[in-house]
Structure 1
């Protein structure tokens, strides 16, 4: 599917933020790891969220879902024997499920997205699992991966946090269920610490006790714990909303996005502060972010590690800012669905943006007058790239055509519907199978 984005000067309206993907994944996993029946209200609906539903069901959780909630009866530390799991293109779901697979005698994770998730490395988690008496067969750290578990052991476990915090989160979910106490030591740096904060918040809500060092580099996890069956309410999603807020920032707008908690532990909550620093007129109260954009932005310097999944949307906004913006500490963007630095900047240049990259930085020389557009560009099968390029298309002179735009459904299937409801001019057309 192609998205044909036409220049749009005005956005106006009021939408509900979609539900948080990160919290949905974690609550469903916590519910599956309990032995009772839990309820998750307002779960996210996206390809990633379907992947975690599918995996926990294949491992023996029983799910009943209606319009507003999922009721889940969990399997605790005894998942049923499954030969293989298909996580789709969901990296977090793969990494969380790999640790759960330590309780299975043999389980293979198949590779259905060789061009995306299939290229991403998981060596650091594999190394940690091998310290827990789990044998792992893999393709140079990548899918397909087969885990031979059945009797995972606790104890002293080291894990690198350099590439992703998901490896650590994965271990934090399963170590409380082991017979032995565990000590988890994070080596190297730890990326996306705020997301580990979300994991710890969910574990605490599930009745799990973990002693975490203030810098999140060292954890003591008592063994023989049990997840409690609970009721969970999923909050609104900042990463997806970042794209809507950025679109409102670069146009003349009067847009409200609801269900965005001011005290959320989502790191991407920082996008509200980033937009404020860029002089975007907005307020944030009672869970509502209200943007009254005047299409006039100021450049700034931002530590992207605070809001990893909001960086691309903020870069898109800064394309139209007065001055040069710098997003630093963002190297882990290179290890996502695509290389979100090189691949994304390549497409931005085609659209007419003036951008440069460093290994861990994105530098944007703003063009307040707008960019030319008028080209067809490649979204690299990446939902965040699709959303960010759409923002640029809205403020371009000739619009943009974005290929493979259906991949936005990975995290935000309603993105184009929401944008159009606000007045965004986007036409979706089915692609003829002409390009390889």
Structure 2
């Protein structure tokens, strides 16, 4: 399905932020790795978290759910032997479960999204698991991937953090369960350190003890640990909320978004600071962000590494800012569902934005008068690109059509419902082509 975004000058209303996708997937995993029953309140519902639920069931977790919570009876360190797992298009779920699947004799992760997740590399995790005695069959680091496991060994492990922090997170979930103590050294750079902070926070809540160096480049993990069955409560999601807040900033608005904790460890919380830097009128108190936008924005410079999943929304806002904005240290955007630098900027140009790219930078020459629009946009099957392009459409002079916009469900299935509730003129429409070129 496509979405037609018609220029909308004003947004008004109140929303409850979605629950965090990142925390939900991590809580689901640590609950499954515990022996006993855990409860997760306010879990996120998205294609990613649904993929984690589905795969954990396949691996032997017993999962029950109602409107408020999920209860999970875990399999501990002994997942059920399965031949095949399908993570859909969920990269984090794949990487976390590649590590856990090494506790099984042989598991193949199938490739159901060849044009998206199927193109993403996982070599760094494959290399690290190889150091632990796990044999892996793969296609140049990509899906389909078969794990020949059964008895991974701890010890000294090195993993590159250059492409993604998810490889390190995967090892941090696995190593406490192994008989041996482990020392993990991160090579090169570590992208998205803030997200590693979330992983460590969840592991600590689950009763796991890990010694991390101050720079997060070295870890000592005692073996023979057990995950504890616990109660967890999922906080509001900043990455998805970033798009709603940016939409409020580029329009005349009076929008309140609730359930966004001021002290959250989500790096994307920086969307609030960036919009303030852009001189958007807003307040953030008692978990509520209140934006009273006037559509007038100033350019910013921002280090995007700590807030990876909010950068595209920030860029969309900067399209309408006065002056030139620069978002730097964002190379890892290239290794997501699509190349979120080249692919995204190509689509922004179609809509009339004046943008440039470097290997690790996005430069936006703002157009406060707005952009022309009146085009079809290829969203490259990427939920973050879909949300960000919608922001641009709200301030375009003519409607834009976002092809295959249903892929927003990967993280925010009711994104367009939420925008409609605020008064945005967005409507689903039948796809006019069967595939993107």
TM-score class, shorter-chain normalisation, is over 0.9
Q: Deviations over 1:240-269 (max 9, x none)?
A: 000000000000000000000000000000
Q: Deviations over 1:35-76 (max 9, x none)?
A: 110000010000001000001000000000000100000001
TM-score normalised to structure 1 length: 0.99
Partner of 1:282: 282
TM alignment of 1:209-288, pairs within 5 A: 209-288=209-288
Partner of 1:328: 328
Matched residues in 2 for 1:306 and 1:279: separation? 21
SS in 2 for 1:293: coil
Q: Deviations over 1:135-162 (max 9, x none)?
A: 1010000000000110111000000000
SS in 2 for 1:150: coil
Cα offset for 1:133? Answer: 1.1
Partner of 2:202: 202
TM alignment of 1:4-403, pairs within 5 A: 4-403=4-403
| Structure 1: runs of 5+ lacking an equivalent | none
SS in 2 for 1:5: strand
SS in 2 for 1:227: coil
SS in 2 for 1:3: strand
Cα offset for 1:306? Answer: 1.3
Matched residues in 1 for 2:433 and 2:281: separation? 43
Cα offset for 1:433? Answer: 4.3
Matched residues in 1 for 2:435 and 2:246: separation? 31
Cα offset for 1:434? Answer: 5.1
TM-score normalised to structure 2 length: 0.99
Q: Deviations over 1:161-191 (max 9, x none)?
A: 0000000000000100000000000000000
Partner of 2:2: 2
Cα offset for 1:435? Answer: 5.0
Matched residues in 2 for 1:376 and 1:145: separation? 35
SS in 2 for 1:349: helix
| Structure 2: runs of 5+ lacking an equivalent | none
Partner of 1:407: 407
SS in 2 for 1:401: strand
Matched residues in 1 for 2:55 and 2:189: separation? 30
| CA RMSD, Structure 1 to Structure 2 (Å) | 0.6
Matched residues in 1 for 2:383 and 2:303: separation? 22
Moved beyond 3 Å, runs of 4+: 432-436
